[in-house]
Amino acid sequence: MRQKLFICIFLIGSVVSAFAQGLHKSDTVSMRVYYRQGYSTFDPLYKDNEKNLQRFLSQVRSIQQDSMARIRTMRIVAGASPEGSYKANQVLSQKRAASIATVLGQYMPEMRDFFRIEPVGIDWGGLEQLVAQSDMPYRDDVLSVLRNTPEWVIKDGVVVDSRKRQLGMMHNGKAWWYMYDHFFPELRGAGGRIVCEVEYVPEPVVPIAEPIVKRPADSVIRMPDPVIEQPEPVTVHTPQLFYMALKTNLLYDVALVPNLGIEFYVGSGWSLTADGMFAWWKTDKKHYYWRVYGGEFSVRKYFGRAAQQKPLSGHHLGLYGQLLTYDFELGGTGYLSKLSYGGGIEYGYSFPIGRRFNLDLGVGVGYLGGEYKKYVPMDDHYVWQQTRQRHWIGPTKAEISLVWLIGRGNYNKRK
């Protein structure tokens, strides 16, 4: 008898538990947002952002039309990869989360009250997931630090250690550089995600034996308002990413024409470049003159896969203008120009040869004009022969430039 009673109680408890669990069923709908390295602006053309956003919006609208579903909250989570300073990552994740909220609010203004912005700074959770799914060297040691070491180790109110420092020091930095090459690019790009938390309330099943209880017509069941967690405002200074390069054209260097150029990245694949050269070699006794000085200014647009991964890399097209003066004479006929000018269109490709160095190959085609004089050396004099105008259309530029990358984040990742 006791055994039967125990079985009945167990079955009843199981049914009640199952009913309670099924009463409120939860689910989530999510999407990943991708960013260019160091950027916080939502770019619909980058990777599949626009396609993923439209699919996510369609899923949310379907949920809104379901009378048995209720959206509890819309979590907007944003982060950054571990390299860089703590404050910079905090600000970057804050801006990324805000940009997602702005875009989402434009499509679904009625859902703004359900947004919960969560800038996480460094995306440690994303890194842990990537490490756990990999077979990287020292995997268990890395997971132990990620799971057991706090982001900041504080003793007596003083920071004495950190999770990031332990990862950087592990096995002489080998684990860190492996993650830098294999995992950090994913964390840099996948900087945000949207998680829509949904609660499904099934229709209540009324037992036949239960009497029908009438509810007064004016009674209202009020659902509790969603609790919106607002992030604390970030007041730290936003560090600006800066990319520039110093370079020298090795072809000019071989020709004994010292030269130096500087290139500034201005955003969205565009850069401005200024180059100068100066050579003043002469020997009157041997009638040797090798003099040239001038400059060049160009505007470039970088494109292609390499350009998307890092500024000042990959294919580039541009327009350039030139001004120069020269005097060339090697014992025979000499050519002297006080002012020559030109311009054209250029194409090139810049590729890494070191952590802070690129090699830039390029060629330009255009116009070169200006007045020049022909002369011949006689005894201790230089005799003028004729004055002519140059109108040259064709190749006017060639470069094999050694490029030194300068600026925050302006380096090539290790292979």
Considering only CA atoms, which of 136, 38, 123, 33 is closest in space to residue 82?
123
CATH number of 23-127+184-215: 3.30.1330.60
**210 secondary structure, DSSP code:** S
Distance between CA 283 and CA 382 in Å, rounded? 13
**pLDDT tens series, the chain, 415 aa:** 555 555 555 444 444 444 444 445 667 888 888 887 777 888 888 778 888 889 988 888 888 888 888 888 888 888 888 877 778 888 888 888 888 888 888 888 888 888 888 888 888 888 888 899 999 999 999 999 999 999 888 888 888 888 988 998 898 888 988 998 888 877 766 667 788 888 876 666 555 555 555 555 444 445 455 444 444 443 333 345 578 999 999 999 999 999 999 999 998 899 999 999 999 888 766 667 888 999 999 999 999 988 887 889 999 999 999 999 999 888 788 888 889 999 999 999 999 999 899 999 999 999 999 999 988 887 777 788 888 899 999 999 999 999 999 987 788 876 5
Residue ranges matching CATH 3.30.1330.60 in the chain: 23-127+184-215
The CATH class, in words, for 244-406 is mainly beta
Residue 194 DSSP SS3: strand
Q: List, by residue range, all CATH 2.40.160 domains of the chain.
A: 244-406
pLDDT at 28: 81
Q: What is the pTM of this model?
A: 0.47
The sign one gets for the Cα dihedral 16, 18, 23, 24 is: positive
For 130, list phi and psi in degrees, rounded to 5: -65, -40
Cα–Cα distance between 140 and 125 in angstroms, integer? 16
- Give the DSSP H or E segment for 267: strand 259-267
Contacts of 216 (CB under 8 A, 6+ apart): none
Q: Is 406 left (phi over 0), alpha (psi -120 to 50) or beta?
A: beta
Residues 6+ apart with CB under 8 A from 372: 335, 336, 337, 340, 387, 388, 389, 390
